[in-house]
Chains A and B, each alone.
Chain A
Amino acid sequence: MRLIYLILMFMASVIFAEKNHDSHEHHGHAVHQNDVYVDGNKFKLDKKRFDEFKKNLKDVQVAIINVQGMVCDFCARGIEKAFLKDTKVKKIDVDLENGKVVIAYSLNKKIEFKEIKEKILMNGQNATDYKLMKI
């Protein structure tokens, strides 16, 4: 019983610390969040992470996909594996924090949202919409 009490206390302290951490970090990350633009539309994405993703990429189409139910790294692994089977996929990144999957395709790939949705659904999540940009 004492052990459970200690664990609960630890959990509570972690939540408290994390809340403070979040509010502290928010100012720092605010610069990086919400400022990726696709065709003039603001797209909620971690800009720092997206810039890292774009590094060394050129002549590609990038699909930014909104995904629901992507709450766990272990469960999202299948998404990466499914898309990487396509030889026209050059790079993929999963942004758990913002519920986004970012995929760089070669320019000769005809991108269809139906295909993207099916691949993500096969892994158990739902793709709700996407945006395309060229780099």
Chain B
Amino acid sequence: MSHSDIYKDSVYFHYSPSFKYSVGLEIAKDDYFDDEYSFFRFTYLLNRKNTQNSQSNLYFQLGLDPENFDRHFYGLHGDWETRRWFVGFGYKESFNDIEDFSEKYLQFGIAPYLGKYGDLHTWLMIKTKKNSLGDSWSTYPVIKFFKGDFLIELGYNNKTRTDAHLMYRF
């Protein structure tokens, strides 16, 4: 998975031995602190509720720079989705040698059509997020496409520039 926004560009490789948790390595180029580093990451599914038409998830995440233990983060993120609707949220506290910061976001989405398995699926979303290094909430549209094992999520506004996620499932 790769991620890009005004604060950093990163690539994250992870492996899920079970649906309950995943472990991985994130390699980041931090534009705000002008630094490069990596995180060993661990994500644990705290709760999942499956129903016939919906799924909800709550995850705990942890990251630790193996070269500098002062640089680490932890957080919670969750979502609820049906085939039509999506609601997601996240909160993350990050620590380093220079300035600690937090990030939070809320995301709402709707699928404009319900594709069948194997079709191109589309989500139209609104994301609002705040990084404590910045001064205010940033709200912007996001469009998400996925087909097969490939997913792309793109958002843009004039404050945070692009917000992009790419994901491929092996």
Binding site for B on A (CB under 8 A): 3-4, 7-8, 10-11, 14-15, 18, 49, 68-78, 93-97, 99, 121-126
Contact = CB atoms under 8 A, between A and B. Distances in A.
A72 B48 contact: no
Contacts of A49: 116
Contacts of A74: 121, 146, 149, 151, 169
Contact of B141 (A3, A14, A68, A121): A3
Interface residues of B, number: 35
Interface in B26-75: 45, 48-55
Shortest 4 CB-CB distances between A and B: which pairs? A69-B50, A124-B19, A69-B55, A68-B50
A7 B148 CA distance: 27
Contacts, number: 83
Contacts of B114: 18, 96-97
B83 A4 contact: no
A88 to B, nearest CB: 22
Contact of B113 (A10, A18, A75, A97): A18
B139 interface: yes
A68 B52 contact: yes
Nearest to B55: A69
A71 B115 contact: no
